Chain A
Amino acid sequence: MRDFDFEDACVNCSACVSVCPVYARDFRFPGPKVLGPEWWRDSQDSRTEGQTSEFVDDCTFCQLCEDACPVGVPVAHLIAEHKRRQAKPARYRWRDYLLAHPHWIARFPQITRVPRKWTKVLGLSTRTPWPSPNRPAKVTHDLLVREKSMRVGVYGDCYTEAFDGPVLDAVIALLEAWGYESIVMPGAGSCCGAAAYAAGNAELGRRIASATAERLRRANGDTVDLMLTLNATCDSTLREEWPRFWHLSASCEVVPFTEFALEYAPLEFWHLLQRLSSDKPDLPYYVHTTCRSRVSRGTGWMEQIGQRARWTVKPLMLACCGAAGSYAFKAEHEELAREMGQLALDEGRVMTDSGTCALHLQGMTGLKASHPAYWLYKAYREAQEHVKVV
């Protein structure tokens, strides 16, 4: 009947505090240990039951605390429970409801063109850059019947479909080039539930996720060998939260695009990129592994992509850039999100595995930031051009 394991295991080592990106910058934020395990323990005592912290919503749900915990305390998920029990200011109710449904926004991306000063009353940030509608050139929901070695589904998450079309285009083109049959999964345009969960509405998140799971199941079942994700948050939500907290299944194996590329892109592809790279030493790729990807898969995959392509790669030492899904769009988080993403970089490009993080980092650094698939495809096209010329 309990949702958690090891919720009582805290050994008070403060490893969670040592990695928390919000605690390091927001001087009012009590930190993951206080808001998670210590709060949870108090919440069971009749004397302190029902007490919550007004600062709990400043947590970005990056889950680095949980990843750090040596004894497996579900720190971030206890904080999500804390958020759920914290009464939300009435003036943000509509905004939060809307932001918990990013797939609605994705369905009507023009909504982001509303003038900024109008959105202020809703409690939306006026400084955090909004994405512009940018749909993929061709989205096919039909299975192309061809002789291919593997059928690969692509989880076209709501953000990528509505605002980051070129990334989806790049993925499909790359899969084509690598010789795999691809299909953009219907149902992916709905939401994995992460936004609602991160904002402290686990129940809504579960409902949204259930609907998506059902659509995935009905549409595809086992017709694909695996499903690629283009966003670290969706990725880890599908693989971790779904089975662990919501007892849902994505109906097939879920793999981040980055790891798929390292495993399945053919050698000739890399050779092509390497020839280009060695001919023309290029600008550095600054790599930001998003917090969620770091927690569920680890770091170093995008660096490996860069190294395999012989690019100059510079890992950024950011724990969480502050974008955190819809976090930075909220007026009350605007300043902190900017502080967390504060970077002074020389010329180059930013590579990161989440659309909202890319948008945020692009705003913070002034450099073009995008998903590794985008950069790989761009380099691939340039290399092809180059080869033709030579």
Chain B
Amino acid sequence: MSWTVIGRGPAGLLAASLLNMHGEECRLVAAHEGTMALWSGVMDRGDPELLPLNAEEWQTLWTLLSRLWGSMGIETRLGPALTLSCTGSLKATFLCPTWQYCTPDPGPLWIVAFEGLPDSLQDIHLSAIEAATGHSPFWQRLPRPPGWDDSWTAVRWASFIDQTEGKFWLKTLLQDLNPRVPAGWPLLLPQVIGRIRTGEILREIGRDLRRPVFEYPLVMPSLGGMRIRDLWQAWLRNRGVPLISGSVTEYLKHRIHLDDGRSWGADHVLMATGGILGGGIKVLPNGVVEEAITHRALGQITAETGWGPVFRWGSEANGSLSACGRQRSGWDPDRDRNGGAMILATVYQALREQGLNILTVPRKGGLMSHAGF
């Protein structure tokens, strides 16, 4: 059996990883980088009642992903919890990298903003946090570091803090403030604490200040997603999964065709092409909405349809081709805040449709052990 996964976002990477873990021959092809850098790495939970999964599947899938990431060096916290956005709102997660603040029961916090990093959580967002948690945070803004200029986005901040000079700048300022904050309050920093040495720096600051230290996510480019993306792609390359760059134009008679003439056979294809956001669904200038690869028309936008349903249009199973992630019809993670659960559930579902149940097919010794852990 040969498989091709189209799309390099979280759903595509997950599908390819699961196939690889099951010893299936799999190619991953994508026209562009996917949405990893738009997203902090937290897996949104939404309402599990609405998902087509039973409790055991739910728990097992989350554990599987947690272990998969663990094998790449990404530590996670597993279980229902809340995370904080950079404008002070809370959202529900089930799996979150440990660099990010995540807790079932948010208590008092020490929140730091960086001047010159416009997505830092600001004083005016504190009332939202207080309303949600019942605790008033201690908030402080650190002045711009020497050498800062207007070309600094989150990525540059992270490069800066990865360096000794940047880490020292941050540590010095925090040590001065530390005595003013009650003991035990966790410190939350903007998600720019390094791109490579994140865990190490957070632990070091935590030791210095004798308190837990986490990041809160910012708007894209998102360091959390970038870290996961780089590690995940390396993991797949390491295990012999080719990450092909190219634009799929057709899947016909069990062959994938790219726009540059390359083509290969694929018994099964998973479309993880991201729906409208990823370009897997196109809204043409004449209002026709179609699947980008099969060109199947999904509908037409008119004054009558409105936009609400269009964002839930998508694909399902069609012979040897199944859709997952945002490409899957019926999902709207913007409305339902269940982007993470959606990825897990749809990849599981799509693989099952194509004849592979990743939870029940034991291979080389049982449920998890074959998975390379």
Contact = CB atoms under 8 A, between A and B. Distances in A.
CB atoms of A and B under 8 A apart anywhere in the complex? yes
A358 to B, nearest CB: 19
Nearest to B162: A24
B236 A300 contact: yes
Given A25-B159, A314-B238, A13 B246 contact: no
Interface string B219-233: 011100010001001
B355 interface: no
A298 B242 contact: yes
A301 B233 CA distance: 14
B120 to A, nearest CB: 17
B195 A24 contact: yes
Contacts of B142: none
B249 interface: no
Interface string A218-258: 00000000000000000000011000000000000100000
Interface in B87-120: none
Given A13-B38, A300-B242, A303-B237, A70 B32 contact: yes
A304 B244 CA distance: 12
Interface stretch (B42-50, B148-156, B331-339): B148-156
Interface stretch (A28-36, A118-126, A183-191, A367-375): A28-36
B288 interface: no
Contacts of B260: 239-240
A20 B159 CA distance: 12
Contacts of B245: 67, 294-298
Most buried by A among B159, B230, B237: B237
Interface in A295-313: 295-301, 303-304, 307, 313
Contacts of B238: 303, 313-315
Contacts of B220: 13-15, 18
A173 interface: no
A68 to B, nearest CB: 4
B279 A70 contact: yes
A14 B261 CA distance: 29
Nearest to B150: A30
Given A13-B38, A294-B245, A18 B155 contact: yes
B78 interface: no
A234 to B, nearest CB: 16
Interface in B175-228: 195, 220-222, 226
Contacts of A13: 37-38, 220-221
B237 to A, nearest CB: 4
B250 to A, nearest CB: 18
A315 B234 contact: yes
A253 B230 CA distance: 32
Contacts of A239: 260
B79 interface: no
Contacts of B261: 253
A315 B222 CA distance: 24
B265 interface: no
A69 B32 contact: yes
A27 B221 contact: no
Contacts of B149: 28
A31 B151 contact: yes
Contacts, number: 107
A23 interface: yes
A98 interface: no
A14 B221 contact: yes
A28 B149 CA distance: 8
Contacts of B159: 24-25, 27
Contacts of A314: 238
Interface residues of B, number: 38
B240 interface: yes
Interface size class of A (residues with CB under 8 A): 35 or more
A301 B243 CA distance: 9
A237 to B, nearest CB: 14
B191 to A, nearest CB: 13
B265 to A, nearest CB: 13
A17 interface: yes
Interface in A2-42: 13-15, 17-20, 23-25, 27-31, 34
Contact of A18 (B37, B160, B233): B37
Most buried by A among B31, B153, B233, B246: B153
A15 B38 contact: yes
Nearest to A11: B277
B147 to A, nearest CB: 7
A384 B245 CA distance: 36
B240 A307 contact: yes
A75 B33 CA distance: 14
Given A24-B155, A34-B151, A303-B238, A15 B32 contact: yes
A18 B226 contact: yes
A15 B31 CA distance: 13
Contact of A14 (B34, B37, B237, B279): B37
Contacts of B153: 14, 17, 31
Contacts of B233: 299
A317 interface: yes
B29 interface: yes
Nearest to B278: A70
B241 interface: yes
Interface in B1-60: 29, 31-35, 37-38
Interface in A46-93: 67-72
Interface string B143-178: 000010101010110011000000000000000000
A24 B195 CA distance: 9
A317 B160 contact: no
Contacts of A29: 151
Interface in A265-285: none
12 contacts: A14-B153, A17-B221, A18-B33, A18-B222, A23-B155, A29-B151, A30-B151, A31-B151, A70-B33, A70-B35, A298-B242, A298-B245
Q: Please name the 4 residue pairs, one residue from A and one from B, whose CB atoms are nearest each other, closest first.
A: A300-B242, A68-B33, A298-B244, A18-B37
Given A31-B151, A300-B236, 16 more contacts: A15-B32, A15-B38, A17-B221, A18-B155, A24-B155, A25-B159, A70-B278, A253-B261, A296-B245, A297-B245, A297-B246, A298-B242, A298-B244, A299-B233, A304-B240, A317-B230
Interface of B: 29, 31-35, 37-38, 147, 149, 151, 153, 155-156, 159-160, 195, 220-222, 226, 230, 233-234, 236-238, 240-246, 260-261, 278-279
Interface of A: 13-15, 17-20, 23-25, 27-31, 34, 67-72, 239-240, 253, 287, 294-301, 303-304, 307, 313-315, 317
